[in-house]
């Protein structure tokens, strides 16, 4: 079936032809004829990215009375991004209808221009519930002539607590108005709205009710909670050409993850409610133009993102409401293209995967977290393929070619490839050289006791360890893992009082440092020596720890001669000149430590 078979006007057919659309999507094929044929209410259940805006937008525009400039159609949606996107789409569809005026009414922007536009006259109002209710309370708009109301992403609006606002707005619309409800899922609250404000609606379901998008495959990785960010990096690294969204639960977490990705060299930016409208528009423009590869976003901020060709959606945390997973995964696999939805979970969340399989009607595939070797190979192959397929522009370096060849004379082809790749990939190859396995297996006793802690930055230092001293022993991995328990009698007696001095390390909580990881770094700096470690205090960007005063220079020399890094940052240590590194605190009776000289 073609758009011309749906009964659309020549003006609309011309506009959608100029936009490059030829064949309607299933939801458009089902909904458009119903809306054009009469005034029956419609409930349409379809996933995000299936063409719902055109499904209701094209009939709305065709049924307008263009000689009237009062609001005749009202579209309510949950977020300003979606509001703006729907408005742009409707304006594009009406390109051959110059008399049509569509207005976006949303919060986070100056209300005066919106009120002025309403005063001049519009036929279609696209609005968020909060701002629309504000305008109604000011008595600056008249909906008495509204013939059609669209509730787009109705399930999300109700999840966001807009039920009372929606009811207040609908009470100002004539009872005879046709109501169109579009939703990805059909929870109880949406069914309630349907029964209350709709009369014998026609139900159109594209796909299986409450199911996920057909072209999206679902994968999950099981890790220990503290390894969540490290696992995210590996997933991003194994897909060098990934273009996607990372979903987080909170605004703070969203900003922190985006900041860490940026510090670690990834092209990422955050999108959340704490940004101004100008900042949000700037981020979205960069993301749509692919100047940003990874968008880290909250569920609310990501509603209405109309971005094509997303390859991945990554659930850094599973949403609290499992139905929200359907909206997240629906951001990829659009317009008939393939997409991947990834969930990073810890051991105690595996039951949620079974629940999600029932929600989306698909089986999830467990994937092992990529190893350092797998990532290195993937990135090397990708780099060489880009070089092989790159079409160099004639004349750019031709006049320098002889000189360059002379400089490389005597270097074999294999050695030349090795050197160029090493120059480009040195940092990543070095980072993953001894990367540990992040896959979580059988829950440990520590997990069962519920003592696991996320690696995500929390904005405060870790509690100093109660043991006054401990032995740092060699460990297989210089980057991750739990230090082995010292053998009895090995090294110095940790209970023996020693003159301790403080050192400071240039990484901290924000780099994912933990006390066991600090011990591993000390071990890796000098595997031939065994140092006694005293108190440890880790803050956001630094870590303080004690060693015996006579071992200070040896520890510093070990780090100076080594080549250790954590999350891409080279690790170094320096003296702080005091053993009381967990200041400020009151000194209790009997507490050890150096005394001031009189």
Could you tell me the residue ranges of all domains in the chain? 3-205, 216-366, 457-487+494-575
Kindly report which listed range (229-233, 268-272, 317-321, 458-462) carries the lowest average pLDDT score: 458-462
Burial of 138 (C-beta count, 10 Å sphere; 0-12/13-18/19+): exposed
Assess whether pLDDT exceeds 60 at residue 464.
no
Q: Which of 33, 34, 29 is nearest to 50 (CA)?
A: 29
pLDDT the model gives residue 121: 94
339 near 213, Cβ under 8 Å? Answer: yes
The length of the chain is 598
Question: Which band of pLDDT confidence, cut at 50, 70 and 90, is reported for residue 244?
Answer: very high
Fold designation for 216-366: Rossmann fold (3.40.50)
Helix or strand holding residue 128 (H, E): none
Largest CA distance in the chain: 97
Query: For 316, what's the count of Cα atoms within 13 Å in the CB-facing half-sphere?
Result: 31
pLDDT in tens, 20-34: 887 888 889 889 998
Question: Measured between alpha carbons, how far is 155 from 159 in angstroms, rounded to an integer?
Answer: 6
How far is Cα 304 from Cα 80, in angstroms, rounded to an integer? 8
pTM: 0.55
Backbone angles phi, psi at 41, to 5 degrees: -65, 150
Specify the DSSP element, H or E, that contains 18: helix 10-18
Please, which residues have CB within 8 angstroms of residue 132's CB and are 6 or more apart in sequence?
Answer: 76, 105, 125, 165, 169
How do strand 543-548 and strand 536-538 relate by DSSP bridges? antiparallel
Inform me whether the pLDDT recorded for 204 exceeds 60.
yes
> Looking at residue 284, what is its pLDDT?
87
Q: What is the pLDDT of residue 485?
A: 39
pLDDT at 328: 85
Instruction: List the strands of the sheet with 365-366, edge to edge.
Output: 268-271, 294-297, 244-247, 312-315, 339-346, 216-223, 365-366
Reported as a single tens digit per residue, the pLDDT across 362-371 is 899 999 999 8
Separation of alpha carbons 109 and 576, rounded Å: 50
| Short-list 294, 312, 292, 316, CA closest to 232 | 316
Q: Supply the CATH classification number for the domain 3-205.
A: 3.40.50.300
Tell me the two tokens of residue 239: 């897909």
User: Which residue has better confidence, 166 or 190?
Assistant: 166
**3-205 with 216-366: one CATH topology?**
yes
- CA dist 209 and 212 (Å) reads 9
pLDDT for the residue numbered 587: 37
The Cα–Cα gap between 380 and 378 comes to: 6
């Amino acid at each position: 079936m073609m758009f011309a078979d749906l009964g659309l006007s020549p003006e609309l057919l011309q506009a959608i032809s100029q936009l490059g659309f030829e064949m309607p999507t299933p939801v458009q094929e089902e909904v458009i004829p119903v809306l054009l044929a009469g005034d029956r209410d419609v409930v349409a259940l379809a996933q995000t990215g299936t063409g719902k805006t055109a499904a209701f937008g094209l009939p709305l525009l065709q049924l307008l009375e263009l000689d009237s400039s009062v609001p005749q159609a009202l579209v309510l949606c949950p977020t300003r991004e979606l509001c703006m996107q729907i408005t742009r789409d409707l304006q594009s569809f009406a390109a051959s209808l110059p008399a049509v005026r569509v207005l976006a009414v949303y919060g986070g922007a100056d209300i005066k221009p919106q009120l002025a536009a309403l005063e001049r006259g519009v036929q279609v109002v696209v609005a968020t519930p909060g701002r629309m209710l504000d305008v109604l309370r000011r008595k600056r708009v008249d909906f008495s002539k509204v013939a059609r109301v669209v509730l787009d992403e109705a399930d999300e609006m109700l999840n966001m607590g807009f039920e009372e606002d929606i009811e207040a707005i609908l009470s100002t619309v004539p009872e005879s108005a046709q109501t169109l409800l579009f939703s990805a899922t059909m929870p109880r609250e949406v069914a309630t709205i349907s029964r209350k404000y709709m009369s014998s609606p026609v139900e159109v379901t594209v796909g299986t009710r409450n199911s996920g998008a057909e072209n999206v495959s679902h994968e999950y990785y099981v890790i220990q909670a503290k390894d969540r960010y490290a696992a995210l990096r590996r997933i991003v690294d194994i897909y060098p050409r990934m273009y996607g969204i990372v979903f987080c639960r909170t605004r703070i977490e969203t900003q922190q993850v985006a900041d860490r990705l940026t510090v670690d060299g990834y092209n990422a930016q955050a999108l959340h409610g704490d940004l101004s409208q100008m900042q949000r528009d700037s981020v979205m423009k960069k993301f749509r133009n692919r100047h940003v590869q990874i968008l880290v976003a909250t569920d609310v901020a990501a509603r209405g993102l109309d971005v094509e060709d997303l390859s991945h959606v990554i659930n850094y945390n599973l949403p609290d409401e499992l139905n929200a997973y359907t909206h997240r995964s629906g951001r990829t696999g659009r317009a008939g293209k393939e997409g991947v939805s990834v969930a990073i979970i810890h051991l105690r969340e595996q039951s949620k995967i079974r629940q999600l399989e029932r929600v989306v009607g698909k089986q999830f595939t467990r994937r092992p977290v990529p190893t350092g070797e797998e990532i290195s190979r993937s990135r090397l192959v990708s780099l060489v393929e880009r070089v092989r397929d790159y079409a160099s522009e004639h004349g750019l370096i031709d006049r320098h070619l002889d000189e360059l060849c002379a400089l490389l004379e005597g270097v074999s082809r294999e050695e030349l490839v090795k050197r160029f790749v090493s120059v480009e990939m040195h940092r990543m190859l070095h980072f993953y050289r001894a990367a540990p396995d992040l896959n979580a297996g059988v829950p440990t006793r520590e997990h069962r006791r519920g003592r696991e802690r996320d690696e995500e930055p929390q904005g405060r230092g870790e509690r100093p360890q109660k043991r006054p001293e401990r032995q740092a022993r060699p460990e297989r991995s210089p980057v991750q893992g739990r230090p082995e328990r010292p053998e009895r009698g090995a090294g110095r007696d940790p209970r023996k009082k020693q003159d301790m001095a403080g050192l400071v390390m240039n990484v901290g909580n924000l780099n994912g440092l933990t006390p066991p990881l600090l011990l591993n770094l000390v071990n890796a700096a000098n595997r031939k020596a065994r140092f006694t470690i005293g108190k440890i205090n880790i803050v956001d960007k630094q870590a303080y720890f004690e060693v015996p005063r006579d071992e200070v220079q040896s520890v510093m020399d070990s780090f100076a001669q080594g080549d250790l890094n954590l999350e891409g940052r080279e690790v170094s240590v320096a003296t702080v000149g005091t053993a009381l590194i967990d200041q400020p605190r009151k000194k209790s009776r009997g507490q050890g430590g150096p005394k001031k000289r009189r």
